[in-house]
């Protein structure tokens, strides 16, 4: 089995590559367990992954058709498409967002369509497909009404991927991830980056700015649970999904206040006090427009699970990703 991860140098890509290499298998479209013979980790930058005979690191530009054609060889069985320009950057640089988040996916799908057999195709979408006027609780059949170019590009890819799958060109699964908290590493250009910073930086002994009010609520999932979800999804018999291959994933609803309280209960008042509250009306407006509650009925019925609590999310981060000794 040949597996290609696009966006493999990102934190989810790296964790997923590690998890798949550790597991060693993926079920094919017929439910047969197959060994991963080759895992191609593709990104703009070299993915920081431990050496493994099955692992091939490839760097290149996802918007370049020839690069993608060389990447998606005919014997490719599984494609995991995580490559994206994040929300804040896609809003600032419309052309770049369109090229990476939409046009590259269009090219990728056309390449898949020309393979002799339909590959499994896992796509990472986002709660950013929702926004503006929407119900208090998002149902599985609530319309995507994105209020950002990133969200629009993700929603468009969802539709494209569903149609390519319906036509039999790919065997698709689209996962709408909640906001991932606590992201390891450094802040990025995502509007949601603060939600990880206010936990991660204080635990590392650093200050963090919180640009939104304490009563702002988020729909979140931990990196550990996100990886479990993706690994499980790759093993699924996708025919059980029927014609709608898009799943809103379970998460938990937490207010920023609750996140900070949880941090304080685990790491103490001094750590929590490293957060500086500095309201940013621009970020408050965008984050406040995101949905914070989903029923996620279909995904729950299929056995996908949220994290147990904010406390567990923070404990998992300390175990999995904290690079320094926790400074409690």
Q: Give catalytic residues, as residue numbers.
A: 150
Any contact of residue 320 with a second copy (CB under 8 A)?
A: no
- Given phi > 0 = left and psi -120 to 50 = alpha, else beta, which region is 59? beta
* Segment interacting with a second copy (CB under 8 A) among 55-63, 151-159, 174-182, 186-194: 151-159
- For the bound state, the minimum distance from the C-beta of residue 206 to a second copy, rounded and expressed in Å, comes to 35
Residues 68 to 127: which contact a second copy by CB under 8 A?
94
- For the bound state, the minimum distance from the C-beta of residue 132 to a second copy, rounded and expressed in Å, comes to 5
Any idea what the Cα angle at residue 267 is, between residues 263 and 271, rounded to 5°? 80
- For the bound state, the minimum distance from the C-beta of residue 39 to a second copy, rounded and expressed in Å, comes to 31
Q: For residues 248-280, b (16+ Cβ closer than 10 Å) or e, as one string?
A: bbbbbbbbbebbbbbbbebbeeebbebbeeeee
Any contact of residue 244 with a second copy (CB under 8 A)?
A: yes
Please say which residue, 25 or 99, places its beta carbon nearer to a second copy: 99
**For the chain, first and last CA: distance in Å?**
45
Size of the site for a second copy (CB under 8 A): 26
Half-sphere exposure of 317 (CA within 13 A, CB side): 31
Please say which residue, 128 or 208, places its beta carbon nearer to a second copy: 128
Any contact of residue 185 with a second copy (CB under 8 A)?
A: no
Any contact of residue 297 with a second copy (CB under 8 A)?
A: no
Any contact of residue 136 with a second copy (CB under 8 A)?
A: no
Give the residue, chosen from 35, 136, 242, 303, that forms a contact with a second copy under the rule CB under 8 A: 242
* Segment interacting with a second copy (CB under 8 A) among 26-34, 129-137, 209-217, 224-232: 129-137
CA distances to 289, 313, 328 from 15, rounded to whole Å, are 29, 16, 26
Query: DSSP string covering 56-116, please?
Result: EEEE--TT-HHHHHHHS-TTEEEEEE-----HHHHHH-HHHHIIIIIIHHHHHHHHHHTSS
Please say which residue, 156 or 254, places its beta carbon nearer to a second copy: 156
Any contact of residue 132 with a second copy (CB under 8 A)?
A: yes
Instruction: Name 219's bridge partners.
Output: 253
- For the bound state, the minimum distance from the C-beta of residue 151 to a second copy, rounded and expressed in Å, comes to 8
Residues 153 to 172: which contact a second copy by CB under 8 A?
155-156, 159-160, 162-163, 166-167
- Given phi > 0 = left and psi -120 to 50 = alpha, else beta, which region is 196? alpha
Q: For residues 168-202, b (16+ Cβ closer than 10 Å) or e, as one string?
A: ebbbbbbbbbbbbbbbbeeebebbbbbbbbbbbbb
Q: Site mask, a second copy, residues 37-56, x = CB under 8 A?
A: --------------------
> Rule CB under 8 A: which residues touch a second copy?
94, 132-135, 140-147, 149, 152, 155-156, 159-160, 162-163, 166-167, 242-244
């Amino acid at each position: 089995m040949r597996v290609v991860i696009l966006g493999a140098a990102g934190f989810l890509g790296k964790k997923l590559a590690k998890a798949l290499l550790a597991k060693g298998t993926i079920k094919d479209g017929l439910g047969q367990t197959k060994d991963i013979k080759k895992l191609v980790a593709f990104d703009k930058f070299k993915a920081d992954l431990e050496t493994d005979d099955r692992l091939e690191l490839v760097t290149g530009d996802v918007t370049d058709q020839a690069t993608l054609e060389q990447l998606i060889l005919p014997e490719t069985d599984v494609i995991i498409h995580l490559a994206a320009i994040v929300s804040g950057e896609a809003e600032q640089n419309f052309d770049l967002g369109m090229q990476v988040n939409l046009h590259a996916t269009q090219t990728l799908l056309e390449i898949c369509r020309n393979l002799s057999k339909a590959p499994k195709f896992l796509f990472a979408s986002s709660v950013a497909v929702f926004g503006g006027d929407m119900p208090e609780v998002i149902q599985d059949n609530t319309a995507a009404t994105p209020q950002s170019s990133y969200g629009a590009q993700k929603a468009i890819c969802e539709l494209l991927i569903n149609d390519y799958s319906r036509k039999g060109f790919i065997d698709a699964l689209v996962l709408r991830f909640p906001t991932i908290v606590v992201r390891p590493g450094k802040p990025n250009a995502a509007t949601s980056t603060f939600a990880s910073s206010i936990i991660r930086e204080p635990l590392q002994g650093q200050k963090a700015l919180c640009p939104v009010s304490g009563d702002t609520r988020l729909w979140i999932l931990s990196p550990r649970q996100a990886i479990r979800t993706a690994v499980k999804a790759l093993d699924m018999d996708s025919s059980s999904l029927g014609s709608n291959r898009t799943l809103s994933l379970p998460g938990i609803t937490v207010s920023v206040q609750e996140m900070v309280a949880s941090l304080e209960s685990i790491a103490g008042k001094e750590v929590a006090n490293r957060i500086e509250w500095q309201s940013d009306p621009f970020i408050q407006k965008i984050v406040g427009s995101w949905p914070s509650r989903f029923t996620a009925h279909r995904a729950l019925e299929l056995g996908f699970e949220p994290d147990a609590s904010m406390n567990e999310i923070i404990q998992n981060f300390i175990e999995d990703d904290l690079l320094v000794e926790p400074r409690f």
